Chain A
Amino acid sequence: MKDALSGPDPREAAFQATVDSEGKIEPKDWMPEAYRKTLIRQISQHAHSEIIGMQPEGNWIGRAPTLRRKVALVAKVQDEAGHGLYLYSAAETLGASRDDMVDALIDGRAKYSTIFNYPTLTWADIGTIGWLVDGAAIINQVALCRTSYGPYARAMVRICKEESFHQRQGYEILVDLCQGTAEQKRMAQESLNRWWWPALMMFGPSDDNSPNSAQSMAWKIKRLSNDELRQRFVDQSVPQAEYLGLTIPDPDLKWNAERGHYDFGEVPWDEFMEVLKGNGPCNRQRMEARRKARDDGAWVREAALAHAAKRAARAEKSAA
């Protein structure tokens, strides 16, 4: 309802002032339509990632090698379902409906993290996912705890507390494998070889190739750039790999004393673009499983609603 005659919308200036002073934007506050849209896109895709992310790990629940590992993995996958729900709730405060968001995922209009399009081929992959994938997620999400939209920031605080359990359970798996038999150690190294680059891709395209970044930074949705976060992840992961006695599959990886950071090789961006376009190893399988769960579960959701309506009617009648 912008008045064309009065020039720039004064609400926009007030909004930006709140953002600039590290204030939080809340659901009923005025916000630019593009801010709302960007957030719905980002938060819903974040939620989709949690839900789709249950599949690669769920793949090993029935085959976990010990009961201790199995209960931990079940608890972890349960947390991920919860993270999806927190995030869908946060997106709903922006006026999006969860049904629509799920439809957008299933119709391929919405994306989810590229990482979940890679297969879990060995038990070591469960350790590597916990260590690297959840490790990357923590770095992303710790930065998002200060994002400008209140409900998103609060969801992140809650999620970060739980992610630490995920990462530690994963690293512990790898510590055991790397201190185990030669075959177990080989399994861990082979797993790292397959997941290292996909984990680096989780931070998104490089800064000079990330068109939405400038606006997201100005609105403080994003607090650090993709490349800054990626660098932080590499710096953190290298010593952890060294402790395990594993080699990171990057011949260009080298400590740079001048920068105080690790230099690393070029991320295979062609592969990233292919996975993003739906042509990764498991894109079809992941979407098919999600679609099947929605479609096959439709009658159960309808039954629950019909039952709730019946009970409500009965309660009303007995009250009368």
Chain B
Amino acid sequence: MTKQQWPLWEVFVRSKAGLSHKHAGSVHAADAKMALENARDLYTRRGEGTSLWVVPADAIVASAPEDKGALFDPADDKVYRHPTFYKIPDDVGHM
């Protein structure tokens, strides 16, 4: 029995123009074309999407959970990054 498995592809679906692609799941397929076909059959059967991306799973590099602090620190000391840091005279109205 052959143990050769079709590679794993991650699937991203964009539901309509203007929105971004969202991770939907994964499929196994021999090549990119088959991955697209399988992803279409599997993840867009009920009008869920207008665009599909498939990416070989081993091409994805993920951040490590233990880096959470260092990588995603919201830097609360950098309040000047937020619009509310800046004072605009009331008379100017909504900005």
Contacts and interface: CB of A to CB of B under 8 A. Distances in A.
Contacts of A305: 4, 6, 30
Contact of A82 (B28, B45, B64): B45
B37 to A, nearest CB: 12
A115 interface: no
B35 to A, nearest CB: 10
B87 to A, nearest CB: 38
Interface string A43-78: 000000000000000000000000000000000001
Interface residues of B, number: 21
Contacts of B3: 99
Contacts, number: 54
A301 B4 contact: yes
B26 A311 contact: no
Contact of B6 (A86, A89, A295, A301): A301
Interface of B is mostly: loop
Contact of A29 (B2, B26, B34, B65): B65
Contacts of A26: 65
A256 B18 CA distance: 54
B31 A311 contact: yes
Nearest to B57: A92
Contacts of B1: 294-295, 298
A73 B3 CA distance: 33
Interface in B13-63: 25-28, 30-31, 34, 41-42, 45, 62-63
A85 B65 contact: no
Interface in A87-124: 89, 92, 97-99
Contacts of B26: 89, 92
A85 B42 contact: yes
Given A28-B65, A301-B4, A85 B30 contact: no
